[in-house]
Amino acid sequence: MKVGVLALQGDVPEHLRALAALRPGRAPVPVGRPEELAEVDALFLPGGESTTIARLLQESGLWRPLARRLEEGMPVLATCAGLILLARQLEPGPSGPNPPTFGALDVRVRRNDYGAQRESFEGPVEVDGLPGPPFPGVFIRAPRILSVGPKATAFARRGAEVVGVRHGRVWGLAFHPELSGDWRLHELFLAEAER
Ligand code: GLN
């Protein structure tokens, strides 16, 4: 299985590093053009700035092919800005106009709802099906999942709050496993996508 990382903006190198560590000898593909997307069987959408990534997706000609791959059921793991771009609905928030979204995750989200950069934090996340201790959640200007629709399932929580959902083969996380040095979530996703 060939795995790609959308490489337009954001914490791309961190995802590439995690994937290279988990599957040595199978280099992950940075995806910046439609031809590169066509090569991969699964995709990671990094954290970053969702409005910038949305603009670059349109400028690079990747928006429509990515929308098609999502419809076809490609496995995708999206973190933070990635989750925002996949949400069914974005609520108006403090951070100005929202980007367009793919609607592949049946969730309602508000951007930057935990506060500004200086209010970023780390805290334990309980993930269903993850062996070992709670996951170290890194939250940076994180989106809040306000509600989960009937087509999506919550599978990661911080206290009572949902911070990770899945909808078919698409996963969305409000936090950044690629910045935690803990690759258990990447591994869980890869193991399922490889099945
Ligand atoms: N606040 C960013 C946005 O709205 C997301 C932050 C992140 O990916 N760490 O796009």
- pLDDT band of 95, cuts 50, 70, 90: confident
Q: In whole angstroms, give the CA distance from residue 155 to residue 42.
A: 20
Ligand 1 in reach of 48 Cβ (< 6 A): yes
Angle at 128 between CA 181 and CA 188, to 5 degrees: 50
Instruction: Give the pLDDT confidence score for residue 165 in this predicted structure.
Output: 98
Question: Do the beta carbons of residue 93 and residue 131 sit within 8 Å?
Answer: no
Is residue 178 part of the annotated active site? The answer reads yes
Is residue 39 part of the annotated active site? The answer reads no
- pTM greater than 0.95 (yes/no): yes
To test the pocket of ligand 1, the residue of 56, 84, 98, 122 to mutate (highest count of ligand atoms within 8 Å of its CB) is 84
| 94, pLDDT greater than 90 | no
| 81, pLDDT greater than 90 | yes
Lookup result for tokens 């989106």? 143
Ligand 1 in reach of 12 Cβ (< 6 A): no
Tell me: the pLDDT tens digits for 170-181?
999 999 999 999
Domain ranges of the chain: 3-193
Question: Do the beta carbons of residue 141 and residue 116 sit within 8 Å?
Answer: yes
- pLDDT band of 116, cuts 50, 70, 90: confident
Q: In CATH, which superfamily holds the domain spanning 3-193? A: Class I glutamine amidotransferase (GATase) domain (3.40.50.880)
Q: In whole angstroms, give the CA distance from residue 118 to residue 96.
A: 18
